Structure 1
Amino acid sequence: MATKSPLTNDHGQTGFHDCFDLLRNAPIGFFISTPEFSHSAITPRSSYLKVNPALAKMYGYSTPEELIGSITDIARQVYASADDRTKLSRILENQEEVANYECVLRRRDGSEFWASINARAVRDETGDIIQYHGFMTDITDRKRAEQELRQSEAKHRGQFETMSLAVIYYDGDGKVISANPAAERMFGASESQMIGTKQMIPHWKVLDEDGKRLSEAQLPTASALQTGQMVGPVVREIIHSENQLNYWLSITAVPIFFSGEKTPFQVYAIFEDITERKNKEIQQKYDIEELRETRKSLELRLQQAEKMNALSRISAGVAHEILNPLNIISLEMQIFKSMDSLPPGMQEEVDVCIKQIERIVAIADNLKQFSRTSRETLVLSDISSIINELLQMYATQMRIEEVEVSTQYDAQAPSIPVDVNKIDQVLINLLTNALAAMEGMEIKRLDICTRMVRSAGKDYLRIEVADTGTGIIKKDLLRVFDPFYTTKDQGKGTGMGLSISHGIVQQHGGKIWAENNRQGGATFFIDLPVNEADKEGQPPRLRDDLNPTCHVTTQQS
């Protein structure tokens, strides 16, 4: 049994007819038309029975009457594709009504437009469709906007997928919603692994330029969402939480708003890998610092060389002037000592004088060291053996003072050419200073080691003597090798020991310097060259062509 439309009366006429005059001035196009389908056959043509002015205008006609008189075959004259009319008719046949059916229609002048059709089939008492009642709206502008949006999205997606910079989109809660292939490559994670995570960069720690780890609230994306303003570009270091790989990135976060809104609903971040550039900047910074330190060191060495040159000239003259009259005094003392008539008490006084003369001679010999007049032959020697012999000499003192001694020697170190007596003098100075520095300390430890190093294309044997004493304050660290400079109490040091040691090491073609160590004490370093015999088969000789210079570093523990 056929079902009547709610708009159908008992005479087969619909209420739509009755109210059509009320819809005449509506801005939406209303229509009543004949159908293509009936129970018995397909009607070859369909036409409009009633239309309002809005629909006539939509099709390009001046009046409803002009449209009704002109369109005698809706499927052929109105629809850009007759299949759309056929599809619409079949839906109405089977479902009675259709809502928001979108298709392309044709105007009077042949131009096309998009329309959205809402219609209902009206049947008679036999169940046959006799009319279509409905309305339509012109959606051309909307369809054009949708098309432009699709094209824009496709273009954006193409750029998003192919751009070399990493880009990640986040929603208003800071969760990842999209990531391009560049981001996948940069961060070693697929887009599906990133989506839904709330970290700015999943699996990576973000640090500022000072190395401080940033919380989620301090990240550029969080700031952009909170303030509604673009953040960046800012430089950040990222470190992978598992393999500890690190990169330097330039990050820019840009908020996205709905029209008229002040709160962003999304934010996207652009990541540029600047690791290579940043590493160059860091290296350049280090190079500048190293250049400054080198310049400072050279200035100090020049000042030290000038002092040592002046001292060399003075010490040679002083030693000569002292020894000449001292020889006469010594001779007179020997004559007095040989006299049989000399009273016993006087004999003891003469012995005291002779002993003090010997002391003066020793001091003069130390002064002569700065004149560099001696040219002793160097002997290939095992440095570890020299150190062990000296430690044996100090064994009793160290045991009494409860000093723990640790030695570690490089088993591959060769014998090197040295003046054993002079190297003994250097090491004795260092050991004596170390023991003095550890007086009164709770922990007393002396670490001595040797190892091979290479510098400026040459091999050196390095000797390190480290103590757990009071260390050397910065201002003294710069002057410890100055002649007559001492930090010891008056009467406990002359300030000559390290100066003479420095001169000896320099004459061997080596270097000596001091640093403070992590234990709070001082470490002295000596680099002695590993030389070969000269071409004539003669061992190398002490060098007197060098001005004593000092290499001092100011590293503090």
Structure 2
Amino acid sequence: MSKDRAPSPLPTAPMEGVDESTWLDVIQKMDEVYTRLIDDEVELEKKNSELEQSQQFIFSVLSAMSDVLIVCDERGLIEQTNAALCELVGRREDQLRGTSLADLLADEASVLAARTAMDRSEAPRGGQGIELNLLDRQGQPVPVDANCTPRVGANGKRLGTVWVGRPTAELKRAYHEMRAAHEALKRTQQQLLHSEKMASLGQLVAGVAHELNNPISFVLGNVHALSKYSERLRSYIAAFHAHQPEALLQQQREKLRIDHLLADLPSLIDGTLEGAQRTADIVHGLKRFSAMDPEERKPVNLVEVIERAIHWVQKGRPAPVPVRWVPLQACTVLGSAGQLQQVMMNLLQNAFDALSTVPEPMVWVEMGCTGEPDRPTVCVTVRDNGPGIPPEHLLRIFDPFFTTKPVGKGTGLGLSISYGIVEQHGGRLTARNTEGGGAEFVLELPRA
């Protein structure tokens, strides 16, 4: 920017003692001073324009802030705010300027906390977090997560405090909603887990009925025998109390076979107790499997879990499938016996279902130890000689509700829930096809 320079005035008449060259020097100096003034004016206008742009930038930033901003002097009087605070409290900035920060606070605890932060002589440069309650436009308290930062001048002297806060009411409400949704999801997951377990349990009803029939029939037969024995004992005791002659008592004893009866009683009683105990064990195992599992983890003998799973799944089949089971002598993991049994039963059930059209079906269950010496891992593989898993299904085999079984034959939740159970136990469940054909599921769990 430049301005036209007016011609320098020339004297109309020469002055005594001053020649023309002197006047020319004076005029030249005046021109230089005038030019410098013009340049300074242009520079000043440039600086003013830059300052105005900076002010507009700062104003736009403050207006765009979603967090509330309060700038106070050393006495706690408000010097500047932003649009977010004005919107929250329902007052203009010119109305807030010069008022005390305490007038915006909803309770004495907030006033005391703010005053303590502003009076702190060695406040951290990064600021300190404080929870305050501001009064909104309706006069209701609004929780704010505020950061108090000292404002220092060029000489190092503290000039006041800068407050930046974010209302947390929405965050807290969102947190509570998320927490409630999480709890509902956990309950739904537990219900799905239990539903899948009951579905697996339903498949075992026929096998369980057959399993219970043997000991119950045994107990029933023994009770009938005991009932007949009791009638014979009653007849013999009645004759004894009638004081019949010794010869008649001996004849009655031989007729009723009392000696054989007495010799047979211990085995009848033992057999009855054994059958009743076997029935109780079966019922106890079913109750333990179908019951809702607690959250705590306990040492579990994985060998017993696998053997129970093989036993129950075999009993639920119309025709048993040969299983080659190679266990370890002892293997203990930390977890839930019922949940781990559910995983094993699901893997075995899937393997048996895949063999429905195989002429000579076979399932292999093997155990082994892998991992580092300080973190041993037990590895259980369940392998069959069926058609295997189609390659396009391998990546989706653990997806919820994904199933290759006909409608009504599977829910698509078994493997998904099993995968989640294994993850909760700190393990891993994978699936693959073997080179010789058939599918193989690998279960890895940390040893206790």
Structure-2-length-normalised TM-score: 0.35
**Structure exhibiting the larger radius of gyration computed from Cα positions:** 1
Q: Which has the higher contact order (CA 8 A, sep 6+)?
A: 2
Q: Which structure features the higher share of strand residues?
A: 1
TM-score by length of 1: 0.28
Q: Is the helix fraction higher in 1 or 2?
A: 2
